[in-house]
Structure 1
Amino acid sequence: MTRELDVHVGGGFDALQARVGDALRRQREGEPVHEDHLTFVDWDAFARTMTAKRLELLRYLHRNPQESVAALARNLQRDYRRVHEDVELLTAAGLIARDGLALSTGYDEIRTVIAL
């Protein structure tokens, strides 16, 4: 089963409320609802989080789950401190899953919707 994450950039509280309301309606109608959403308040917040290096890290981690941050830094040939910072931020955002020291991504695809 492919796990997908919908990332929303902007859109405000009304858009969030509409997504939740739609999911609740579908569930009441008997449809199984299994959705994961991550919302950034605006483009600046998204851009501070999803840098090119962090996207590269996520792609690598998706293909190659790692036993630790140190192993990930070695395999990416990047400074440990920077990789640790990236992992902490991406974990807090829900983009990296941790099991003890082990790291993996919980999603096969990230779809991004940017409100204008």
Structure 2
Amino acid sequence: MTERVLNVKVGEPLEANLSRAARMVEALELGESPAPYFGIGFADVGQFAALFTPRRWDLLAVLRECGPMTVAELARRLKRDYKNVHGDVEKLSAWHAVERDERGWVSAPYSEIVVDIRLPQGRVA
């Protein structure tokens, strides 16, 4: 697997994303090959926690440790119900945290997942 890092940003302002995209476009227009950037963003911690539940982190850990496998095998290794694991795979797949190949096998394609949580600024007393 090539080195791919998934950057998960929570509470990052839209301007930061737009700036990152503009820098990538600028580099491409100059004929440069910018490093690939894989990222997903969440408005707040609640939205992040709704996707990345403890069971889904366990799922990702098994995939990273054992490599690609079927959902049935993943459910067996996790000692969980197939239907629930399938649902978790669907949710994580929709956000590109896991991938399915042409055989339907599931993998965690990232060498690293970096989570950056920016809490809302509090008001000063």
Q: Which has the larger radius of gyration?
A: 2
Q: 1:108 to 1:78 in 2, by over 3 A?
A: same
Contact 1:65 1:102 in 2 (8 A): no
Which residue identity is paired with 2:12? Answer: G
Deviations 1:61-100 (A, max 9, x none): 0121343111110111111121111111001110111013
The residue that corresponds to 1:42 in the other structure is 44
Contact 2:68 2:108 in 1 (8 A): no
For these two proteins, the number of residue pairs brought into alignment is 116
Taking only the aligned residue pairs, the percentage that are identical comes to 36
**What's the secondary structure of 2:97's corresponding residue?**
coil
Contact 1:5 1:109 in 2 (8 A): yes
2:26 maps to 1:25: yes
- How far residue 25 of structure 1 moved from its aligned partner, in angstroms, is 2.8
Q: 1:115 to 1:29 in 2, by over 3 A?
A: farther
Moved more, 63-72 or 74-83: 63-72
Q: CA RMSD in A?
A: 1.6
Deviations 1:17-36 (A, max 9, x none): 11111222333444422111
Gaps of 5+ in 1: none
**What's the secondary structure of 1:113's corresponding residue?**
strand
Q: 1:47 to 1:65 in 2, by over 3 A?
A: same
Residue 74 (structure 2) aligned to one of 67, 72, 75:
72
The residue that corresponds to 2:123 in the other structure is none
Which residue identity is paired with 2:18? Answer: Q
Gaps of 5+ in 2: 120-125
The residue that corresponds to 1:104 in the other structure is 107
Contact 1:66 1:72 in 2 (8 A): no
Structure 1 residue runs of 4 or more that deviate by more than 4 Å after TM superposition: none
